[in-house]
Amino acid sequence: MFRVLNKTIPTKMLQYCNLSYVKTASFVKPILYGDEVSPPVRFVMMTASILNIDIEFHKIDLFKNENRTAFYREINPLQKVPAMQVGDLKIVDSHAIALYLCQVAGDKYLYPQDPALRAKVNQMLFFNSSTLFRIDSYIMSNYFARQPVNETTVEEWYTALDYLEYNLKDNWLVGNKMLLCDICAVAVVTSMLPLFPLIKRHKRVKQWIENFQCLPFYDINRRGLVNLRMCINAINNERS
């Protein structure tokens, strides 16, 4: 279960992320399959926390190849995480899961109804899926397979951060309130920091990450990052 209402959010942050709307959704309890080292899994978990949705978490340990088991193939034939099961419904993409949760919770703030705002949020969600996470997945897969990462991909990553920097004219990616696209992107960007730290030209990205630090749901991301860094450090120790 992930809750946020029992914690105090500093007043200065409420103007940036409108969390005061949060309510409990009443529907069949979802089961989320995943591993917290995965940015998309953390994205879904943080979204559920903000929306005050009670979910059952079933860990699929990626480092034990539990995503390759016959059991999990029945849940998600793609053998990737996350996957969510709600009754007979199975959803196997983090963005689709998050949008589903917003819809069943009656959310109007994380995923705004205004067509122009929603288009901007969609644009960043698709950018996360097609660019940020694609690069993250390639780099992390190679890293844990003990394979080199080519410089072109590293340059592509920093170019992607340039695009975030360009969009961060306010405190968040789309204006002055935290929206769904911020949550998905921060999970990916912070996962890459142990391997590729931010550079000087990404000052807004750095501040954007700082904006999350006092928000109670962000503990989910911190916890996953600790586990991820432990795995990265294990590889580093092998190489030293």
Distances (CA, A) of 55 to 26, 38, 80: 11, 17, 19
pLDDT digits (tens, 9 = 90+) for 134-183: 999 999 999 999 999 999 999 999 999 999 999 999 999 999 999 999 99
Query: In this predicted structure, what is the pLDDT of residue 28?
Result: 83
pLDDT digits (tens, 9 = 90+) for 80-118: 999 999 999 999 999 999 999 999 999 999 999 999 999
Q: Is the per-residue pLDDT at 5 higher than 80?
A: no
Tokens 């069943």 belong to residue: 104
Q: Is the per-residue pLDDT at 4 higher than 60?
A: no
Taking alpha carbons only, the member of 2, 100, 102, 86 closest to residue 42 is: 2
pLDDT digits (tens, 9 = 90+) for 32-77: 999 999 999 999 999 999 999 999 999 999 999 999 999 999 999 9
Taking the complete model, does pTM exceed 0.75, yes or no? yes
Q: Which CATH architecture has domain 11-104?
A: 3-Layer(aba) Sandwich (3.40)
Domain locations along the chain: 11-104, 115-239
| Domain 115-239 CATH (choose: 2.40.50.140, 3.30.9.10, 1.20.1050.10, 3.40.50.1000) | 1.20.1050.10
Query: In this predicted structure, what is the pLDDT of residue 27?
Result: 63
